[in-house]
Chain A
Amino acid sequence: MLEGLPREYDVIVVGTGMVESILGAACARIGKSVLHIDVNDYYGSEWASFSLDALMEWTQKQETAEINIDPHDEHEKIVPISNPKDVCRNVQLKWNIPETKEETETMEENASKPMTLDVLKKQSRKFNIDLTPKLYYASGGLIDLLVQSNVAKYCEFKLVSRLLLERNGQLENVPSSRADIFNSNDISLIDKRLLMKVIMNCSSMSIDDLNEDQNLPFVEYLKKQKLNDKLCHLILNSISMVDYTATTKDGFIKAKRYLDSIGRYGNSPFLFPLYGNGEMTQAFCRLCAVFGGIQFLRFPLAAFTLNSSTNQCTGIIATTGERFHAKDAVICNHAYMKSISESQNTIHRIVLLTNQSIKASEKEEITYLRLSSPDETGIHVIEVGYGPGCAPDGLFLLYLFPEKSQTHAGDNTDKIIERLLKLTGDHFTRTNILGQFTFDQIETISLPPSSIDKLFLTHGPDGTIDHDAAVNTARNLFHEIYSNGEEFLARAPDPEDIVIEDPSNTDDTSTTKTENETL
């Protein structure tokens, strides 16, 4: 099946995760020949979204057989790959609902028909479950990149309509705009003024204006502005979204970004992609293909080829022995390297399938909640439902994950769920949780870069809420590979402006026809 596939390329990209996909698109965009492969039969790697069936299939991992390939000559060295799915460990999927209707007949009669697994499976395609859920700051790195490169036309977004925080043992809305604060009955007049003052300062002051305060812990700076504990927590947790150990400088920068993002597309600073986060990787892969990149899923990859005398990566080799050469670079997701098995930093991700939102609302919402306290790292909670096309009507996906990876973390799933249930009260209880999917994602962002020339390793997701790390890595790697001032993802032209020459009129350049091409 690999016959007919050219063997020579400028760049070979292994893996279709976020960083690799952005890079693949960027290289194709400047006219390089790109071969973009993935051993999986889906796009996205650890950033993929799945239908319910696909998720259940994914949880049944298969072992890959070791392939032994002999080097061509004494200069060639073969570096076998690891199974990239090993980057996710301890995968568990538990259901709290019966398999089929027959099993329910032995249970007591309920007022409503209980949900069964086979009913859910019939709606499998209405689910888009993210392995790595993220939100998008309206004034943030990825949205800016999407707009600048015009990749934005391949995707659609919805606003994250509801931002919550923990207050008085309940879930309440985050007051972050002037209108929110004006309408709040919970804050005294003086506190409203003090809060608005801090918010205005975060927006309008520059970092330099802070002077020595920059290195103070942010919580101390806020106390200096006469904010009480509750308001300090509001700013730290829900506007800056940093831990209590953060410096004023970090807190300020993040608060600024949050406040700048409000109003750009609506009354919330965050966007969520329609059909889930997996769409992002596909959007960039699409741009790569449009500019001539070759995309190949289910590629039978065995190993990388190295030139041992120059210590340069020269390409890849399939299980069938065919070799593919890359002139400029081989870009590879770190998950393919055997070295990740040494990493002990993991992000424990929880996905709950529920039949009730964590907080009542009259309309369809996308909800974000950040849980934290002075002595622990933040936990992100994202709830999506039918609105962004991630679940069937009436059902929800509830994502919970920590902001920072942990070493040797025990399974704290129940502890985190208990904490959330305390805040949701009677409205949302354990009986609303239909299914529970958890896994440990190895965090590769802190692993060292490759020591092999022309082999560029990309990392997987971290626990932060946004994509900035991925975008920055992609940009930096791009400039490392092509350091002669090439533009990173220049804007793709609009269809109306593309001129296609009539091949029979190649001498006469003054007559050109224009056609509408769908890019």
Chain B
Amino acid sequence: MSVHGQVKVRTSAEQKAARERERAEKLHLYLSEYENILTNRQTADPLVLLKSTENVLSEHPDCFTLWNVRREALLKIEHEQEKDLLEKELSVTQRCLQSNPKSYSCWYQRQWCLKQLREKFNVNLYKNELGLCKKYLELDERNFHCWAYRYYLLEQLCPPTSSSDLEPFFDQELEFLHATIGRNLSNYSAWHYRSKYLDKLLDHCPTRRSAVLSLEWELVLNAVYTDCWDQAAWFYLRWLLFKQLGSEAISEDKHIKPLEELDEVEPRNRWCMLALCQLWKEKKVRDEKRKCYLEQLANEIDCDRAQFYRDQI
């Protein structure tokens, strides 16, 4: 370094020029490789095609055409090699996912590989995939691609044989979802998948119904009290009350009263008010107050959805 503080530093104009040069080079490279692959698509050896597309895709994972080329190539290869190549394909997509964890193409490719491997079902492979999902969800718990992929995996892994295995299987997943919600109440995907698994569990073990729903109610009540402005928990609450519990099971004491108390502490909360209005309607109570709230919601609090509220009066 030179004399006191008089350092020559690239100006922002020079920095910009350097960046432009770099970009132009990268673009040129990409275009020439892409051209090359497309010209040789039908004629080249599948293994060669796989190699060349791999290089391009690791930097640009969202190029649909190149993934199609890969699928064509993989299908052309004979059976013995196929299994290994398909498993290797999963590690290729993993590399590509590192540059874009939300790439539609990569996640689709993974699912496609598993479908191709269907006859040679390998439990360890699926368990590895589950582990990968967990890792990606830790990085971004709202990666809906990952959630959907996880659901697909679990559907496949679902014990097909004895139905006594199903119950602990669902319970386990509900545990995982509970922990995820515990970390972030706003995780809509977690609540959504929780509703799906709850449905399956209750279908499978109808005797546990009242106990399970009771615990669920406590969970969602805890959520809406902790953060009454987060819509994910409110959606789940309404689903639980109206789609699972049903009118007869809704009790004024257990379900309506706590929400009324919340309303007192947090007046003018549109979610709480709407839930109460719907509950009061089901149980045919507090008609006057219900109409008053719906008017308030339509005219002052949530005017964007005025007609929605008015329709309920």
Check B8–A193 contact: CB distance below 8 A.
no
| A 198-219 binary contact with B (CB < 8 Å = 1; else 0) | 0000000000000000000000
Check A179–B185 contact: CB distance below 8 A.
yes
B225 touches which of A33, A192, A498 (Cβ 8 Å):
A192
Q: Which residues of B contact A183 (CB under 8 A)?
A: 182
Comparing B36-44, B119-127, B260-268, B305-313, the segment that makes contact with chain A is B260-268
Q: Which residues of B contact A499 (CB under 8 A)?
A: 8-10
Complex Cα distance, B5 from A32, in Å, reads 8
Known contacts A178-B185, A183-B182: A498-B7 contact under CB 8 Å: yes
B183 closest partner in A (C-beta): A179
B226 touches which of A30, A181, A292 (Cβ 8 Å):
A181
Complex Cα distance, B265 from A33, in Å, reads 63
Q: How far is the CB of B245 from chain A (nearest CB, A)?
A: 19
Of B2, B7, B185, B221, most buried by chain A (CB within 10 Å of CB) is B7
Complex Cα distance, B7 from A292, in Å, reads 11
Check B6–A31 contact: CB distance below 8 A.
yes
Complex Cα distance, B10 from A501, in Å, reads 12
Check A182–B182 contact: CB distance below 8 A.
yes
Complex Cα distance, B258 from A196, in Å, reads 17
A493 touches which of B7, B182, B185, B262 (Cβ 8 Å):
B7
Q: How far is the CB of A285 from chain B (nearest CB, A)?
A: 16
A267 closest partner in B (C-beta): B183
Known contacts A193-B225, A193-B262: A292-B4 contact under CB 8 Å: yes
B229 closest partner in A (C-beta): A200
How many residues on the A side are at the interface (Cβ–Cβ under 8 A)?
30
Check B225–A179 contact: CB distance below 8 A.
no
Check B6–A182 contact: CB distance below 8 A.
no
| B 160-191 binary contact with A (CB < 8 Å = 1; else 0) | 00000000000000000000001111000000
Q: Which residues of A contact B7 (CB under 8 A)?
A: 493, 498
Q: How far is the CB of B260 from chain A (nearest CB, A)?
A: 12
Any B CB within 8 A of the CB of A497: yes
Residues of A within 8 A of B (CB): 28-33, 178-179, 181-183, 189-190, 192-194, 196-197, 290-292, 493, 497-501, 512, 517, 519
Q: List 23 A-B contacts (CB under 8 A).
A: A29-B5, A31-B4, A31-B5, A32-B4, A33-B4, A178-B226, A178-B227, A179-B185, A183-B182, A189-B221, A189-B222, A190-B261, A192-B226, A193-B225, A291-B4, A497-B9, A497-B10, A497-B15, A498-B7, A498-B8, A499-B10, A500-B8, A519-B1
Residues of B within 8 A of A (CB): 1-10, 15, 182-185, 221-223, 225-228, 258, 261-262, 265-266
The 4 closest A-B pairs by CB, nearest first: A31-B5, A292-B4, A189-B225, A497-B10
